[in-house]
Chain A
Amino acid sequence: MTSEGSERRSEERVEPFAEGARRQARPGGEGGEVTSEGSIQTAGDTADTVAIMGEKHRSRWVETLVLLVRNPMAVASSLVLLVLVIVGVFGDVLAPYGYNEQFVGDQLESPSGSHWFGTDDFGRDVFSRVLLGAEVSLRVGAVAVGISLVAGVLIGLLAGYYGRWIDDALMRFMDMLFAFPALLMAIAVLAILGRGETNAMVAIGIVYTPIFARVTRASVLTVREEVFIRASRASGAGDFRIIFRHVLPNAAPPIIVQTTISLAFAILSEAALSFIGLGTQPPDPSWGRMLSEGRGFIEQAWWMALFPGLAIFVTVLAFNVLGDALRDVLDPRQRSALSGKGAAR
């Protein structure tokens, strides 16, 4: 083995820990878990390993799906998210009233049969506004994560695949972005771009780019030296082809997990930005915005702040739980823990 090879390997050995610790920092992600069992390896494990290898021919994605369906938390959170998406898409049809429909004389009504979540200071139906707010939350979250996903994965691929100074330059730049508290950076970006929903998407997108770059780079490093990639390089395939046909698909699982968890935090960030008045602008029904309006009436109308907050909480929780379940399934170490066998070894 060349000295370069061994150096790289030792770097990778250090990496997972550093990466894990860093990921703790930003919303989304954390270090690996350790299982309580599995410390005692018995001969039985060998037999299981053989059994598991027999199942390998089933597609990885089918296997992932099977494991996910077996996890009640994953199923429950997926169902919640499905309901949210339906509400997001068909909110207009489902909501009993329009988001800006005002019932004069019915201001600050407490929850009742006609207004399940009460009414706000303009006499608008809080329930309808919460339902219609789902669309704003999901859209802003999805677009923002889309931005960071594309930018971060691209940066991570380039850094991880080419290494050397490209890696250094890109990752140091990501370190710089990482040095700012997420919300403060979003605030600064919005100060430059101006407030509003679209700019909030961009700001959140920038904030969560470094984490995608790091996750992608880390998994590219682990697959870069695998035999099939070396083989396609040797057979003269271009870098572009190798990166998108071979490296990316094999580095995908942690990126998928990160995407799910980042959705949770992007939605949280959108709500926070709208809460401080920099995100979605009135009269659009954003949960964060409704919460800040409700804050002013907290003594008279607790429902104005309670329900939008609850909506944010449930949505974020669902993405987080699903992200955790995905990690369990897609991270091989976790997978072995899940099926209670030492399959990874």
Chain B
Amino acid sequence: MTEPVLSVRDLNVGFRTSRGLAHVVNGISYDVQPGETLAIVGESGSGKSVGTLALLGLLPPGVAKVSGSAVFAGEELIGRSEEKLRPIRGAGIGMVFQDPMTSLNPVLTVGRQIVEAVRAHGPMPKAAARARAEELLAEVGIPDPRSRADAFPHQLSGGMRQRVMIAIALAGDPKVLIADEATTALDVTVQAQIIELIGRLQSEHSTGVIWITHDLGVVAGIADHVLVMYAGRCVEEGSVDELFDRPVHPYTRGLLGSMPLVDDPRPARERDPLSTMPGLPPDPVRLPPGCSFYPRCTIRADERCRTEVPPLVPIAGSSDRHRAATFYAPEGV
């Protein structure tokens, strides 16, 4: 196995709130290999975005409390000063955000916003940066890049805007690309185009991709390794095949619709797995002492689940990268 380009260990993120510390990310660990795609899956509020924003120090400084380790290209990211993180942002790790409408500055032309990204890492004459920006626009498949560069974000379609976001992320030639719900706001055909685009760029530059999503359909198509998050914890991880073929954790299985959910008379194909799971995620300020999923769990095994956090352990009969955090893995998966 090659050396991972990004290695995260025991990452914790807390937010100071008026009611106490909200534990949003709790002990997440993963590796990103060059050219590979890691998918982080979870519902909104599971901490999946926050965990990656924390790597680049993009969380509000006074509010967020980050601990753990994240080594990128041999350098520790956690605890770095703003100025020391800056060279990593964009040039080391690029980000594509969910909503390209709000993620692009409405009062600056898209060309100018790409030029900013190009010139963020070292001096470059304006004309050269502009030429590079047009090159990037062409690379992400925007026709007539010269005139499109002078467009304002609201003058472009949603898909075009997301391509611009990708162009911005690529400007620094990053080794890792984080796509945070990058296709959620787009309609299905455009979604497919964007996925294809990122896949193509990934193979050309052998970029490691972290794909954050709640859409399991997307994950199945593109991911190599999958990490399922619930209430800030990793509840199960494994290769995409292992996870889809032999889900172990009740939450994963619920997501995949492979086990019947209570109180839902509709046939499985009509259910949206994320919205029909009964109950709500726990309050991150008052996490339950045991398994976070316990209150919603359909197995509701016993007292131990309520009082003890199940560790993330390898699953018998799978590869050692397939691990789940449950005391009650179903027999013979």
Contacts and interface: CB of A to CB of B under 8 A. Distances in A.
B119 to A, nearest CB: 29
A10 interface: no
B45 A42 contact: yes
A42 B280 CA distance: 11
A43 B284 contact: yes
A46 B279 CA distance: 12
Contacts of A39: 60
Contacts of A47: 280, 283
A13 to B, nearest CB: 16
Interface residues of B, number: 17
Contacts of A43: 45, 231, 280-284
Nearest to A48: B19
Interface in A277-317: none
B18 interface: yes
A340 to B, nearest CB: 4
B63 A44 contact: no
Contacts of B283: 42-44, 47
Nearest to A339: B18
A39 B64 CA distance: 13
Interface in B278-293: 280-285
A14 interface: no
Chain A interface category by residue count:
10 to 19
Nearest to A46: B280
A42 B21 CA distance: 12
A41 interface: yes
Contact of B15 (A42, A46, A340): A42
A46 B283 CA distance: 8
B280 A44 contact: no
B284 A44 contact: yes
Contacts of B63: 37, 40
Contacts of B284: 42-44
A340 B45 contact: no
B20 to A, nearest CB: 9
A341 to B, nearest CB: 8
A42 B18 contact: no
A117 to B, nearest CB: 45
Contacts of B285: 44
B248 interface: no
A67 B311 CA distance: 45
A39 B282 CA distance: 19
Contacts of B19: 44, 340
B17 interface: yes
A199 B281 CA distance: 64
Contacts of A41: 45
B140 interface: no
A166 to B, nearest CB: 34
A336 B282 CA distance: 22
A44 B15 CA distance: 12
A43 B280 CA distance: 8
B297 interface: no
B22 interface: yes
Interface of B: 15, 17-19, 22, 24, 45, 50, 60, 63, 231, 280-285
Given A44-B19, A44-B283, A44-B285, 5 more contacts: A37-B18, A42-B45, A43-B45, A47-B283, A340-B17
11 contacts: A37-B17, A39-B60, A42-B15, A42-B17, A42-B24, A43-B282, A43-B283, A44-B22, A44-B285, A47-B280, A340-B17
A-B complex: 5 closest residue pairs judged by Cβ atoms: A340-B18, A44-B283, A43-B281, A43-B45, A44-B285
